[in-house]
């Protein structure tokens, strides 16, 4: 992990590379340099989360969202049970649990579109999926995963109880 050689100045940005909930690299500098560092770290560590924020911001837990298909569950109580499990896992892993977007086949891809809007609203977001087939209403799961992660910077994680 890198160390700061001076206190942060107003306008400085802090870039961190995360391995799960652990910071493995921490850089603070003026905005242009911080954005270059973020881009370089995102290329070098493509599978890890790289965040950028004001250097004086308080540290908050990263946001975790969920996405599921309603038709792959027997009933609404099963979906509610999944939401409770995700909330418990989020707390255990150091995340803040956000919304779980439930896709109804009749209105697809409305929930996925809402998920994308939510992800774009936050800089560091991870999305839990029970299985890759939950993306099938939107398109080919592998293609959707690749495009979603490239465009939003968020990552899908498979939920494995």
pLDDT value at 65 more than 70: yes
Q: Is the pTM of this model over 0.75?
A: no
How confident is the model over 89-103, as a mean pLDDT? 88
Least confident segment among 34-38, 54-58, 79-83, 145-149: 54-58
Q: What is the pLDDT at residue 140?
A: 95
Q: What is the pLDDT at residue 153?
A: 84
Query: In which residue are the tokens 């003026």 written?
Result: 30
How confident is the model over 48-65, as a mean pLDDT? 81
Contact status, residue 128 vs residue 159, Cβ threshold 8 Å: yes
pLDDT value at 96 more than 70: yes
Average pLDDT, the chain: 87
Q: What is the pLDDT at residue 125?
A: 80
pLDDT value at 58 more than 90: no
């Amino acid at each position: 992990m890198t160390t700061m050689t001076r206190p942060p100045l107003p306008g400085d940005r802090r870039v961190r590379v995360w391995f799960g909930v652990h910071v493995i690299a921490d850089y603070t500098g003026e905005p242009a340099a911080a954005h270059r560092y973020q881009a370089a770290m995102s290329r070098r560590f493509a599978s890890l989360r790289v965040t950028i924020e004001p250097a004086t911001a308080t540290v908050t837990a990263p946001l975790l969202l969920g996405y599921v298909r309603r038709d792959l569950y027997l009933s609404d109580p099963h979906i509610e049970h999944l939401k409770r499990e995700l909330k418990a896992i989020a707390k255990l892993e150091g995340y803040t649990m956000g919304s779980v977007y439930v896709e109804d086949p009749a209105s697809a891809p409305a929930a996925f579109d809402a998920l994308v809007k939510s992800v774009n609203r936050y800089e560091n977001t991870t999305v839990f999926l029970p299985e890759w087939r939950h993306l099938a209403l939107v398109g080919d799961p592998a293609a959707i995963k690749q495009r979603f992660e490239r465009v939003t910077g968020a990552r899908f994680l498979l939920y494995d109880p």
